Amino acid sequence: MTINEANIAIVGATGLVGGKTLEVLAERGHYPEKLSLFASERSAGKRIAFNSREFIVEPLSSAEGKRFDIAIFAAGSAVSREWAPRFAKAGAVVIDKSSAWRDDPECPLVVPQVNEAALDSIPKGIVASPNCSTSGLVIALKPLFDSFGKPRFIFVATYQSVSGAGRGGNEALSRQRAGEDFCGIFPRPIHDNLIPVIGKIDGDGFNEEETKLCSETRKILGMSDLQLTATAVRVPVMVSHSEAVTIVFEDEVTAEKAERALESAPGLRLYRLPDFPTPLEAAGIDDVLVGRIRNTRGDARILSMFISFDNLRRGAATNAVDLMECIARRLF
């Protein structure tokens, strides 16, 4: 069975990630004949055009008792916790974009370019897709680890666009750019500013985004004792996340060797100095852009790089479609 022949559901179809998922499906020539789009009661009844057809968005409650082959959830943790098991029990393989199932040992957390083999076992019928900031990071780390081994430590600083916070993030930046006194979902103004907090801060001083990036990276790479720390920052950019990454290896890893390891890796686009990636260039494409690769002066064991990627595509919708393709190939 191909994706076009499968019975597909998208939950959260009216949101940013749901809409981008439909866009990526169309770009890859996936036009399921049986496609159901679900959203909240508030969004039910909206019409969405896809493949020269018009679909009416259904309330999620109407999915009760229906069977699907694959269901993509892009609707938040509370919805996923309640509804993903129901879809799975009815026979669907669920691809969940929320944080609800990422820490569950019976739900594989998968980026196909990194750990597709984790799909060999899906006990609950639910596959978790990582946080957008994690997706781009692990794609950049995997070829380096394969070539040079497990590092001693990783330092990551993320620069995350407002669209990572959903439509409310886009609205806040747009209205502030227009001169309105409107913070919206953010605790401080984001226009002409940076906010070094994304989510609640725990007792150790780390916010939710930082904690998720570290725990998810360990799980995807299969390195439970990997030492890394993160600082997550919201920036006044509409689309694309960027990350400054510094890796401390056991042995020397020159910038030239690192570039050779990265240049043919799946899902990556390498920028050699003096060229460099930016979030604007990453917007609208699926590749993770990697550049500014360099060693710390006097210590070739320490390697730094800068990455940018479209958080709505590579960080969310593209990974979901990649997973859909893998699951269809494996199970059908």
| Residue 2 within any structural domain of the chain | no
Clarify whether residues 172 and 297 are in a common domain.
yes
The answer to whether residue 132 is catalytic is yes
- Token digits of residue 132: 């957008």
| Residue 273 within any structural domain of the chain | yes
Clarify whether residues 97 and 185 are in a common domain.
no
Q: Which CATH number covers residue 74?
A: 3.40.50.720
Q: How far apart are CA 235 and CA 237, in angstroms?
A: 6
| Residue 224 within any structural domain of the chain | yes
Clarify whether residues 243 and 292 are in a common domain.
yes
| Residue 74 within any structural domain of the chain | yes
| Residue 194 within any structural domain of the chain | yes
Cβ(111)–Cβ(138) under 8 Å? yes
Cβ(127)–Cβ(319) under 8 Å? no
Clarify whether residues 68 and 92 are in a common domain.
yes
Structural domain span for residue 38: 7-129+316-331
| Residue 117 within any structural domain of the chain | yes
| Residue 1 within any structural domain of the chain | no
Catalytic residue among 30, 107, 132, 214: 132
Position 331 scores a pLDDT of 78
Name the region of 26 (left: φ>0; alpha: ψ -120 to 50; beta: rest): alpha
Mind listing the pLDDT tens digit for each residue in 61-115? 999 989 999 999 999 999 999 999 999 999 999 999 999 999 999 999 999 999 9
Clarify whether residues 92 and 152 are in a common domain.
no
Mind listing the pLDDT tens digit for each residue in 142-156? 999 999 999 999 999
Catalytic residue among 30, 191, 214, 241: 241
Angle between helices 132-148 and 208-221 (to 10 degrees): 40
Clarify whether residues 123 and 184 are in a common domain.
no
How many domains, the chain?
2
Clarify whether residues 228 and 173 are in a common domain.
yes
Clarify whether residues 212 and 242 are in a common domain.
yes
In sequence order, the 6+-apart residues with CB closer than 8 A to the CB of 220 are 109, 110, 111, 114, 115, 130, 134, 138
List the chain pLDDT tens, one digit each, 332 residues: 789 999 999 999 999 999 999 999 999 999 999 999 999 988 999 999 999 999 999 999 999 989 999 999 999 999 999 999 999 999 999 999 999 999 999 999 999 999 999 999 999 999 999 999 999 999 999 999 999 999 999 999 999 999 999 999 999 999 999 999 999 999 999 999 999 999 999 999 999 999 999 999 999 999 999 999 999 999 999 999 999 999 999 999 999 999 999 999 999 999 999 999 999 999 999 999 999 999 999 999 999 999 999 999 999 999 999 999 999 998 77
Clarify whether residues 142 and 271 are in a common domain.
yes
Clarify whether residues 221 and 121 are in a common domain.
no
- Whether the CA torsion 7, 13, 18, 20 is positive or negative: it is positive
Clarify whether residues 199 and 323 are in a common domain.
no
| Residue 276 within any structural domain of the chain | yes
pTM across the whole model: 0.95
Clarify whether residues 303 and 321 are in a common domain.
no
